[in-house]
Amino acid sequence: MIERTLPDGHVWLRIVQPHYRDPFDPSFAARRGGRWNPAASWPTLYLNEDVATVHAQVRHLFLGRGIEPDDLDDDAPLLLAAATLPRRQVVADAITDDGLAALGLPTSYPVDPSGAPVAHAATQRIGWTVHEARLRGVWCRSAAGLGHELAWFPTSRGRAHPVWDHPSPFGVWRRAATLSDIDA
């Protein structure tokens, strides 16, 4: 696998719901699993690299439901939380073609050569290998089809550091093009 060090001080974004007590609690994915970690495994926090990826995620959330993000009211229960991570986080590269190939994934990821989504079972096996190698996660192409995501595996000593006092309401960030457009 190809290792990459995350940029120190980068602000990572996470779509959360109003009932989340801690928008950066990685225990839910530890219990339920996700794209890069199986159920009943290790804490994982799924993050978006930038605002464009967040918008792609929102569109992806509503695929096949007959709802577009523009159909939502400003008070829709989608909040945006922002955080930085501890310094010097080394992760597996699932962004570049070389990184994907080293992990055994097709260079067409997040879809396979036939256009079907790569199954979670395959990415969870890779996540297991990455976790066993003591890397802090997988920096990957977004499954929403645009941008990059991070499946971050925090340690007991390292937590995400919130940038804002409270998550930002949907009406504030729904049309933002960059992080600086969001007044949280």
pLDDT of residue 71: 78
Q: DSSP 3-state assignment of 92?
A: strand
107 is in which domain, residue-wise?
A: 3-176
Is residue 181 assigned to a domain? Answer: no
pLDDT of residue 184: 59
| Tens digits of residue pLDDT in 28-70 | 999 999 999 999 999 999 999 999 999 899 888 887 787 777 7
Is residue 77 assigned to a domain? Answer: yes
Is residue 25 assigned to a domain? Answer: yes
Q: How far is the C-alpha of 148 from the C-alpha of 114, rounded, in Å?
A: 21
Through-space distance between the first and last CA atoms of the chain, rounded to whole angstroms: 38
- What is the tally of structural domains in the chain? 1
Question: Does the reported pTM lie above 0.85?
Answer: yes
**CB < 8 Å & 24+ apart, contacts of 153-157:** 153/37, 153/42, 153/43, 153/44, 154/26, 154/43, 154/45
Is residue 182 assigned to a domain? Answer: no
Is residue 48 assigned to a domain? Answer: yes
Cβ neighbours for 182, distance < 8 A, ≥ 6 positions apart: 51, 80, 82, 168, 172, 173, 176
Going 7 to 11 to 17 to 23, the CA torsion angle's sign is positive
Is residue 101 assigned to a domain? Answer: yes
Residues 170, 141, 113, CA angle at the centre, nearest 5°? 125
Q: How far is the C-alpha of 157 from the C-alpha of 143, rounded, in Å?
A: 29
DSSP state of 2: -
Show the low-confidence residues of the chain (pLDDT under 50).
Answer: none
pLDDT of residue 72: 75
pLDDT of residue 49: 96
Closest CA to 124 of 1, 28, 36: 36
Is residue 112 assigned to a domain? Answer: yes
Closest CA to 85 of 30, 37, 132, 137: 137
Is residue 165 assigned to a domain? Answer: yes
pLDDT of residue 68: 79
